[in-house]
Amino acid sequence: TEIEDAADALLAAQELMLQGCGAVLAKGGHLPGDRLTDWLVTRGGHVAFASDRIQTRHTHGTGCTLAAALAAGLGQGMTLEAAVARARAFVAQGIARAPGFGAGHGPLGFYPL
C-alpha cells in the first residue's frame, strides 16, 4: 500500500501496532506539502507532531539523527512522547543549520551547538 498523506501514515503505523510493536513513530518528512506530520502510535492511542517544512535539500541523515536523539532521550528517562518532541526539535535545528555542502542531499548542521 502506498503512503500518500498523513492519514495513510497513521493507518500504516496502526497496522504495525497490530503486528505486535510496542510503539511506532511514522515519519512524514517524505510526504508532499508545506507541513509535515509525524505520528507516534502506542497502545494508549496516537499523537500527531506537526510542523512547517523547512525548504531545503540538505536532509541527509535525518532519520538516523532522529532515532539517535530519541534513544538518547529515552536513556535519560524521558517519556516516549517527550523524547519524540525533543528529537524532532533537534533534527529541525540540524536541518535549519545545514551547511549546504555539495550538489546533492547534504548533511545536517549541528555546530556550533
Q: Is 1 a catalytic residue?
A: no
> Is residue 99 very low, low, confident or very high in pLDDT (cuts 50, 70, 90)?
confident
Supply the pTM of this predicted model: 0.91
Cell numbers 502510535: residue: 41
Amino acid 95: pLDDT: 94
pLDDT at 39 over 90: yes
Residue in 25, 24, 31 with CA at minimum distance from that of residue 5? 31
Going by their DSSP bridges, the two strands 45-52 and 23-26 should be labelled as: unpaired
Write out pLDDT tens, residues 44-83: 999 999 999 999 988 999 999 999 999 999 999 999 999 9
Q: Is 61 a catalytic residue?
A: yes
| Cβ pair 110, 93 in contact under 8 A | yes
88 burial via Cβ count (<10 Å: 0-12, 13-18, 19+): buried
Q: Is 65 a catalytic residue?
A: no
**Rg of the Cα trace of the chain?**
15
Q: Is 62 a catalytic residue?
A: yes
From 21, 33, 56, 64, the catalytic residue: 64
Amino acid 86: pLDDT: 98
From 29, 44, 56, 59, the catalytic residue: 59
